[in-house]
Amino acid sequence: TANDAEQELTDGFHLIIDALKLNGLNTIYGVPGIPITDFGRMAQAEGIRVLSFRHEQNAGYAASIAGFLTKKPGVCLTVSAPGFLNGLTALAHATTNCFPMILISGSSEREIVDLQQGDYEEMDQLAVAKPLCKAAFRVLHAQDIGIGVARAIRAAVSGRPGGVYLDLPAKLFGQVMNADAGKKSLVKVIDAAPAQIPAPDSVKRALDVLKSAKKPLIILGKGAAYAQADGEIRTLIEKSGIPFLPMSMAKGLLPDTHPQCAGAARSTVLKDSDVVMLIGARLNWLLSHGKGKTWGDAPKKFIQIDIEPKEMDSNVEIVAPVVGDIGSCVSALVQGMGSNWQTPPADWIKTVQTKRDDNVAKMAPRLMNNNSPMDYHGALGVLRTIIKERPDAILVNEGANTLDLARGIIDMYQPRKRIDVGTWGIMGIGMGYSIAAAIETGKPVLAVEGDSAFGFSGMEVETICRYKLPVCVVIFNNDGIYRGTDVNPSGGSDVAPTVFVKGARYDKMMEAFGGVGVNAKTPDELKRAVNAAMDSGKPTLINAVIDPAAGSESGRIGNLNPQSVLKKK
């Protein structure tokens, strides 16, 4: 009866769960503990997938890449203070990479925090989070939960996506209110990431500049991959006939084997192009800030497509800024190109294709190396073939040599299949990304990990086994960071700071939790083990033995290391 409905109650626990479900957020990545353990149990009981990790940082990385892959904010749930701080690295990473993510942390009551009275895991989390994320909100009253969750979702996905912190003090969960009023307080977010249409004259200006080019280049950034405007982007590239250079996580938007792909001719196209159109790519350190020897000394004009107006002129002058969401901008450009677009001069196309084919040919024999212990090229040659045969698989990649060489050697064929260290070049994303990629897409995951990189999140192999995920981890074990051969110059008993236990057997870790462990000493053993893993879908860890002398310091970015000009003592 109406009277019963009047009396029926709901509470904070249920309102948060209802708000998440109402907005299609059905997965939570987290670590249980006071004050959110029961919340996790209740969310699972209500049909939300609640994945428990061994460290909040990995749960946070999982949530961040879930956002990139789905365009819905990934949700990470942690306890107060230390758990929150562990998740905060991932929230800052999401914000830096423009991935939509919400970090939900339990927290202490305001009255205790503000008087600094020493609560259990006390910290002013909202204040700590604010400078490191896109937006941060705290909810004190149950009737505000609907609005709080709605604001967090909209802030995470609208405009330039990013990380949002949602602070939930412990007492909020137990607060009760009338069920009917509670239901009415919930908000289903309408059009959370509205299309942002570019100004027609900005499109015209961009096309005029592009038309004037003799040596145009299009650079696709991970923003272009995130946009899920794959068809429009393919049309723009193929209709324009312009060579394209995909940044790491944009690989596969068009296949790396596409005739217009200039990935293998990167240095030539950056140096010799005269007009560069950036699509969802920022001119940051990954593109040498658009200046210096990488870009040659011929004058260049930059066109930039980005949803963030403040990105323009960040590093060099942008002569044709196009501000809007990438799908809308690319569609407007294609429309504006009309039906008689002039493709670039044949000699430019030929220059790029010749350079590319030469570089691919030069690399080919090294990929056949059958050495044992393996070198990077021999091992990566095997994985290159496997990804070509299994284009559906998602490739997770981190390390230094393991990352830089894999990026250039393993071709990608589909969008959003390569997920890696991103803008910060952060180590530790491996297992969190692998778990989220498997959960969000249901596809098999191949994680290609440096042995150091793996160490940052290695304990999550238990999580992978616990949820029986189709993840095959290949560790390039060269006994250390960059190499395994450094020695302690002092002659002391400590090993050098960059070397690990010689001949470590990481495969035994996976066996410890019921997964499949393989020690692979040759490319052939590696090939058999990876194919078996991809066929079986069983959690597998392959310890690929790599020559400890094979790597170089910091992979391809050794030049960023400060050097001492003083003579070594």
Q: Does 548 bind Mg ion (CB under 5 A)?
A: no
Q: Does 452 bind ligand TPW (CB under 6 A)?
A: yes
CB of 548 to ligand TPW, least distance (A): 9
C-beta atoms surrounding 189 within 10 Å: 18
Q: Does 555 bind Mg ion (CB under 5 A)?
A: no
C-alpha to C-alpha distance for 41 and 53, rounded to whole angstroms: 14
CB of 217 to ligand TPW, least distance (A): 28
Handedness of CA 6, 8, 10, 15 (dihedral sign): negative
Q: Does 428 bind ligand TPW (CB under 6 A)?
A: yes
CB of 420 to Mg ion, least distance (A): 16
Please calculate the CA angle 318-319-322 and round it to the nearest 5 degrees: 75
Q: Quick one: which H or E segment has residue 153?
A: helix 145-157
Contact segment (CB under 6 A) with ligand TPW among 67-75, 136-144, 347-355, 477-485 equals 477-485
Residues 415/253, Cβ–Cβ less than 8 Å: yes
Q: Does 425 bind ligand TPW (CB under 6 A)?
A: yes
AA identity, residue 324: G
Q: Does 68 bind ligand TPW (CB under 6 A)?
A: no
Number of amino acids touching ligand TPW (CB under 6 A):
18
Q: Does 411 bind Mg ion (CB under 5 A)?
A: no
Q: Does 426 bind ligand TPW (CB under 6 A)?
A: yes
CB of 361 to ligand TPW, least distance (A): 25
Q: Does 451 bind Mg ion (CB under 5 A)?
A: yes
Q: Where are the alpha helices (DSSP H) in 158-281?
A: 170-174, 179-185, 200-211, 222-226, 230-240, 266-272
Tokens representing 53 are 């990790």
C-alpha to C-alpha distance for 298 and 454, rounded to whole angstroms: 42
Judged by CB under 6 A, the residue of 451, 460, 462, 547 near ligand TPW is 451
Judged by CB under 5 A, the residue of 381, 432, 450, 523 near Mg ion is 450
C-alpha to C-alpha distance for 66 and 73, rounded to whole angstroms: 7
Judged by CB under 6 A, the residue of 146, 378, 399, 539 near ligand TPW is 399
Q: Closer to ligand TPW at the Cβ: 451 or 507?
A: 451
Q: Closer to ligand TPW at the Cβ: 194 or 558?
A: 558
Question: Per-residue DSSP letters for 60-115?
Answer: HHHHHHHHHHHSS-EEEEE-STHHHHHHHHHHHHHHHHT--EEEEEEE--HHHHHT
Chosen from ligand TPW, Mg ion, none, partner binding at 13 (C-beta under 5 to 8 Å by type): none
Tokens representing 296 are 């040659």
Contact segment (CB under 6 A) with ligand TPW among 316-324, 334-342, 465-473, 475-483 equals 475-483
Q: Does 545 bind ligand TPW (CB under 6 A)?
A: no
Q: Closer to Mg ion at the Cβ: 319 or 557?
A: 557
HEC per residue, 345-403: CHHHHHHHHHHHHHHHHHHHHHHHCCCCCECHHHHHHHHHHHHHHCCCCEEEEECCHHH
Residue nearest to ligand TPW (CB): 450
Residues 19/31, Cβ–Cβ less than 8 Å: no
Q: Closer to ligand TPW at the Cβ: 381 or 551?
A: 551
CB of 473 to ligand TPW, least distance (A): 13
Q: Does 402 bind ligand TPW (CB under 6 A)?
A: yes
**Long-range contacts, 515-518 (Cβ 8 Å, 24+):** 515/461, 515/464, 515/465, 515/539, 515/540, 515/541, 516/540, 516/541, 517/541, 517/542, 517/543, 518/542, 518/543
CB of 495 to ligand TPW, least distance (A): 15
| Interacting residues with ligand TPW (CB under 6 A) | 399-402, 425-428, 450-453, 476, 478, 481-482, 551, 555
Give residues in contact with Mg ion (CB under 5 A): 450-451, 478
